Amino acid sequence: MQTKVPKSDPQQEVASKELHRRVRLRLLRMHYESGVGHLGGNLSALDLLLTLHHRVMEKDDLFVLSKGHAAGALYVTLWSLGRLSEEELLQFHRDRTRLAGHPQADAIPEILFATGSLGHGLGLSVGLGLGKRLRGQPGRIFCLMSDGEWNEGSSWESLIFLAHHRLAAVVPIIDLNGLQGFGATTEVADLGSLADKLRSFGLQVREIDGHDPEAIRRALQVDTPTRPTAVVARTIKGHGVSFMENRMEWHYLPLSAEQYALAVEEAKRL
């Protein structure tokens, strides 16, 4: 397969570290001010979302957030790109908002689909990929999925279709944080190695540290390969805030004032 991965640039690395820190703080503030939980899965996905949108995606590329509960991380990512305003972030989770707890239909141009029920995003991405192929249009479709949503049969249906049609333009990215709604993925429905499962369907799989922007960037540089690629990103639920890391309750809980202050201190240092 053909990939062109530009060499890493130390200045760029410092800049992206700065960016990630700034956006992580904005995410924490947004959730805190709105009294909203769901932080764990947002923090595990944030580095992936930022790297993808700032350093990987080009004008013909499309993005689908299959794990709709990471809407907050997507909103702050769009904010960091100047596509959502500060005023709009203040409306997160409030009445008469475009920024609901999960991405809504036709609310924001960059968000192609309302998601939130798991197991839809890969099929939608595959439809975009097939449509592009039939039209002869360039561009890739990046689909950010959770590990929990591989419990959904529809995810596997879509994987079968993607592999069979060799839709290499569709790149599933799995935020493998190991925790799902009410337990660890290994306790609820242990799939063993998801990467091996994906490989057995004929995909090429890149396993990376999902909090390393440089590794993310390299893994996502997929240029018209002949074989579909998936990226399995090992992440930490609640990444960057020690009392949230790998703790299931932060799938749900909002922050108290003290917790918020503590979280900000830690996130600043990251």
Partner 1 sequence: MRKVLATTLVGLSKDKDFAFLTGDLGFMALEPLREAAGERFINAGVAEQNMVSVAAGMARLGFRPWVYSIAPFLYARAFEQIRNDVCFHKLPVFLVGNGGGYAYGVMGATHHALQDYGALLGLPNLKVYVPAFAADVPVAAERIARAGGPAYFRLGSDETPKNFVLPAYASWRRLLVGGGPTLIIVGPLAGGILGAAMQRPTEIRPTLWVLSELPVLADEIPAALVEDIQRSGHLVVVEEHVAEGGAGQALAYALLLRGAAPQHFSHRHALGYPSGFYGSQNYHRKECGLDPQSILALTEKP
Nearer to partner 1, 157 or 207 (CB): 157
Q: Which of 135, 136, 190, 226 binds partner 1 (CB under 8 A)?
A: 135
In the complex, what is the shortest distance from the CB of residue 171 to partner 1, in angstroms, rounded to a whole number? 14
Q: How many residues bind partner 1 (CB under 8 A)?
A: 30
C-alpha 260, offset from chain centre: 23
Of 27-35, 36-44, 131-139, 175-183, the window that binds partner 1 (rule: CB under 8 A) is: 131-139
Nearer to partner 1, 83 or 165 (CB): 165
Edge to edge, what strands does the sheet with 229-234 contain?
62-65, 141-146, 170-176, 229-234, 204-209
Question: Would you say 119 and 142 are in contact if contact means Cβ atoms under 8 Å apart?
Answer: no
Nearer to partner 1, 16 or 158 (CB): 158
In the complex, what is the shortest distance from the CB of residue 250 to partner 1, in angstroms, rounded to a whole number? 26
Residue with tokens 């990512």: 77
Nearer to partner 1, 32 or 150 (CB): 150
In the complex, what is the shortest distance from the CB of residue 126 to partner 1, in angstroms, rounded to a whole number? 5
Q: Which of 37, 123, 148, 240 binds partner 1 (CB under 8 A)?
A: 123
∠ CA(28), CA(216), CA(241), 5° rounding? 25
Residue with tokens 């100047």: 82
Nearer to partner 1, 11 or 226 (CB): 226
Give Cβ neighbours of residue 100 (< 8 Å, ≥ 6 apart).
Answer: 71, 93, 107
Q: How far, in Å, CA of 102 to CA of 73, rounded? A: 11
User: Residue 129: how many CA atoms within 13 Å on its side-chain side?
Assistant: 28
Task: Draw the binding track, 95-114, toward partner 1 (x: CB under 8 A; -: no contact).
Answer: ----------xx-----xxx
C-alpha 191, offset from chain centre: 20
Q: Does 148 bind partner 1 (CB under 8 A)?
A: no
Note the residues at the interface with partner 1 (CB under 8 A): 105-106, 112-115, 117, 119-120, 122-132, 134-135, 137, 153-154, 157-158, 160-161, 164
